[in-house]
Structures are given as C-alpha cells and as structure tokens.
Structure 1
C-alpha cells in the first residue's frame, strides 16, 4: 500500500510538472526580473556562502557600499507579456527549457514527499473514522516535504538555471544541454556543494508547500463531505485541489522567490550571501517594494 502512494504520486507529479512547465518557466523569469537590468553593487557583490573570501572580494564589497545609487529598474511586465517575449525572442521551444530537469525533480522530490505523506497518513489516521487530525496532517506534510526537497535539490538547482538561462546575454549563458549535463558541470566547476545550493530554502519551501497543500486538501475535502455540500467525486476533488493549491502558493511564494535567486547565482568575488535572512531585506528593497510575493502560483 505504501509503495502504491509513491508510484501514483510520482507519476501524477511528473505529468503535472511537464504540463505546467511553460508556466513555471515564466514564473522563474518573473521572479528574476530586476536582477539583469539593475546594476546595484550591493546585490552584484553577493556570492554563495560556499565560495572562499579573499582580500579583493572584501575590497569590492567595501567599495560597493560607497558606490552611487543604481539607475531605476526597467519596468516589470506580467506573465502574458513575459511569455510573448520569450516566444518572440527565443522561440516556442524555449518554453520547455529545462523540462528534463523538471522530470528528474518531480521523480525525486514529489515521489518522495507524496509517498511519505501517504505512508504517514495511513499510520496516523484514526482507525475508526479514517480521518487524521489537522495537526498530524501538518506534521506529516512538514516531514515529507523536507525529506523530498533534500533529495530533489540537485535537480531543482539545474531546473532553475536552465529556465533562467535564456534571459541572459549569449556570452553569460551556461548553456546546459540537459539535466545530466547541468549536474555534471556543476560538480566539475563548482563542487558537490553547488548541488545543494539554496537547500535550506528548498527544504523550507517544500515543508510549507506540502504541509499547506496536502493538509488543506484533506481538511477541505473532509469539510465538504462532512457538511454534505458535495458528493465524493470528481467535483469534490477538483474543488479541494484548487483551494489547496491557492493556499500553498500564497504561503510558499516568498521563500520561492528567494530560493530562485539564490540557486541562479554564479560564484563570483564579493561579500558572502546572507541567505534567507538577508535576502528578504535586500531583495524587496532593491526590487522597489515588497515583492517577495512576485508571481504567486506554483506547486
């Protein structure tokens, strides 16, 4: 019974991930808006925490503090405009950039989290009613999401980079051919730790997503059936799924924006990146507002 949950959850997630990949790519491009066009020294001199500090890096960081303010950022556009621009400048095929990484990510991440949640749901549910208390649902979601994210982080890093590559000038692109090529080059050029860059953010996001999505789905479905609003069927599942997806998107998007930016960073000289604590302070400020809910809406 436990294996069935892993297989069903994995297959469903792979199909969903491939189907919505263009939307996810547009989401990543929107989350990175402002990074290319705003040469803010305070942001440009950030670097991943695993990179070594040097005197020149410290001097560059100090000079950045006294640099003149950056020019105003280019106007930001919505998802439809971003999608049209991608098709016009990169072609329709660009909407599926990084789809191989999506398949691997869903295989590792979603299969693990949904399978583990199903196992814990079976063991923690009330034997009489078959329902699981909300607190246990949230706990199961946190545990399953955290473990799944840790397992799937390498594919997540590759996916973000492959989706974001087209926004850069040709000379600055990584040009990964596939998820295998991406992971291989990261290992050779940046070390094994690069595969888990932003892993703390990935784990936090996955815990929030899984706890809010799966727990709210079960809770909403039970409430609908308990109050006799709908019969147990496709309509109930769709209604609960839409509601759960909305809850998960709103809850996890701030961490998702930060995660995307950290994973997309290149190893360069500069001050050590402050991580999740610093980024909410610098990112929204340099993005002209509290924009950590930018492009809310991803599983």
Structure 2
C-alpha cells in the first residue's frame, strides 16, 4: 500500500505542467532596438575601424579621435538608422524564427531544424533591413570624410530620400547580397546557438530559466556569431561605403581586402571591437526579449512526460 502510494505521488509530480513564457512576433525587433540604443557607440567605432585603409588606429584611440573631433554626440551619429535597421531587419528575422518555434507547440526543434529556420529568417531579414543598414553605415562613417564630401543625412528617412533622389531607388539595395548572407550567418550564430546553449545549461539542473542563464547563453551566442560573420561584415561595410564604381563586384572587394592581409588586417579587421559590440548587443537583446516575454507576453502550459 505504501509502495503504491509513493509511486502514484512520483507519477503526479512528474506530470506537473511546465509554464512557458511566449512572446509576440514583434518582441524580437523591439528588444533588438533597445539593445542597439545601448551599444550604438561600439557599432560606430567598429565601422570606423573597418573602413580605414591602414590598420594603424585601435578601438580606444579611435574612440578618443571621435570624442575630440565631434564630442560625445559624435558617438551617436546614425542612431536613427541603427534603430530603424533593428525594427526592420531584426523584427523580420525574429518574427520568422519565433513564429516557427511557437507553431511547433510541444515538439522540440532539433539543432539542424533550428539552424535552418535561423538562416532563412536572417536572410529575409537582411533583405528587408538593407536600406536602413546602408544609411546607417553611411551616417556613421560620414564624419571621417572631408567636409565637401559628406552626405550630411539628418536622419534615416532623410538618408533614404537623398539616396533615392540622387542615386536612384535601386541604390538602397546596394550590397544586399552581402548583407543578407551576413544576416543569415549572424542569426544562425545568435538564435540557433542561444537556444542550444540555453537548453544545454538548463539540462544540467544547475540553471533555471532566469537572467543568469539568459546572460550566459547569449554571451556564448554572441561570440559564435562574431567568429562566423566577421569576414562578411567587413566586406559588407566596404561595399556599402564605397564610391560608385570603386568595386566591379564582390570578388574585387574580396581581393582588395585580401591584399591588406588575411587575418586581423583583412577579413578579420576590427574583430575585437566587433565582439565587444556584438556580444553586449546579443546579451542585451536576449535579456530584454526574455523580460518582454515574462512581463508582456503570454504563457502556455506544456505537460511534462511521465
């Protein structure tokens, strides 16, 4: 009698439902925009480092140069474009990934499935966000140009208008192949690996679904995304900021970068500031996203297997 009673209690305990916090499709874009507002100065310095012809200025020195030349607000050049980029690019990629994941219901995605959805979502997001991304790069790099060569976009909408009026509407998609490829890879590194790391941590029994887990998993995802995407990020920045006719194509851009050195002077130029920027952005994005889900999302009840 006591044995059967103990068994029934264990079965009941095992079948206790699990409550999951779910987010609406736009939460990822909102969380990414919030993170971008915090990390924009690092993103600006990364662009400056990638577009210099000689790797003779480091992250700290570049920050000092910008502060002396343009003041504290110089670190926020292009902020409106950066926010718009997240509200287009990140909102699209998170919407695709999270919607697919939520429609799986109680079924858990394999890593291969998660990677595939992340790559597709990132590629589509890169296409959607390319116009704001191009204006963002230009606005951030504008202060490095001579006064008579500056574009002087007042904000992202002015930048888009000026590009369409002076260079043609097609120009806003300049570098889209590189942008979408890079976006697919960074989404793979961030979303797929965040879920992988978070699941691995929680499976140990030492971590719960809490901010510590969110921070640890997102930090690992940020590092993974940086390594995977840096070569494409350098090429994207060069293509977007190049003058008309500077490169005949992607191969010409790659050859120009390779000529300056393969690793830290070429395709991996600016990898340290890229990590310093992408890791905090990834951490903040997922911390904000998890908090949005917990406080403003909805919950679903998932029955645990016996």
Match of 2:269 in 1: 294
Counterpart pick for 1:97 among 70, 73, 77: 77
The C-alpha deviation readout for 1:158-185, integer Å capped at 9, x for no partner, is 0000000111111111111111111111
Match of 2:139 in 1: 162
Deviation at 1:288, TM superposition (A): 4.1
Q: Equivalences for 1:39-50 in 2 at 5 Å?
A: none
Match of 1:193 in 2: 170
Deviation at 1:4, TM superposition (A): 4.2
Q: Equivalences for 1:244-283 in 2 at 5 Å?
A: 244-268=221-245, 273-275=248-250, 277-283=251-257
TM-score of the superposed pair, with normalisation by structure 1: 0.80
Deviation at 1:294, TM superposition (A): 1.5
Higher Cα radius of gyration: 2
Superposition RMSD in Å: 1.8
Counterpart pick for 1:225 among 195, 202, 205: 202
| Bigger shift: residues 25-34 or 224-233 | 224-233
- Separation of aligned partners in 2, 1:158 and 1:202: 13
Counterpart pick for 2:39 among 14, 20, 24: 20
Structure 2 residue 258 is matched with structure 1 residue 284: yes
Moved over 3 A (4+): none
- Separation of aligned partners in 2, 1:244 and 1:131: 19
Match of 1:109 in 2: 89
Match of 1:133 in 2: 110
- Mapped contact 2:262–2:268 kept (Cα < 8 A): no
- Separation of aligned partners in 1, 2:96 and 2:258: 35
- Separation of aligned partners in 1, 2:181 and 2:116: 13
Unpaired stretches in structure 1, ≥5 consecutive residues: 35-72
- Mapped contact 1:146–1:207 kept (Cα < 8 A): yes
Unpaired stretches in structure 2, ≥5 consecutive residues: 1-21, 279-306
- Separation of aligned partners in 2, 1:229 and 1:187: 54
Structure 2 residue 99 is matched with structure 1 residue 119: yes
More helix by share: 2
Counterpart pick for 1:84 among 64, 67, 70: 64
SS in 1 for 2:56: coil
- Separation of aligned partners in 2, 1:192 and 1:144: 24
SS in 2 for 1:6: coil
Deviation at 1:281, TM superposition (A): 2.4
- Separation of aligned partners in 2, 1:142 and 1:288: 29
- Separation of aligned partners in 2, 1:221 and 1:248: 15
Deviation at 1:232, TM superposition (A): 2.4
- Mapped contact 1:124–1:136 kept (Cα < 8 A): no
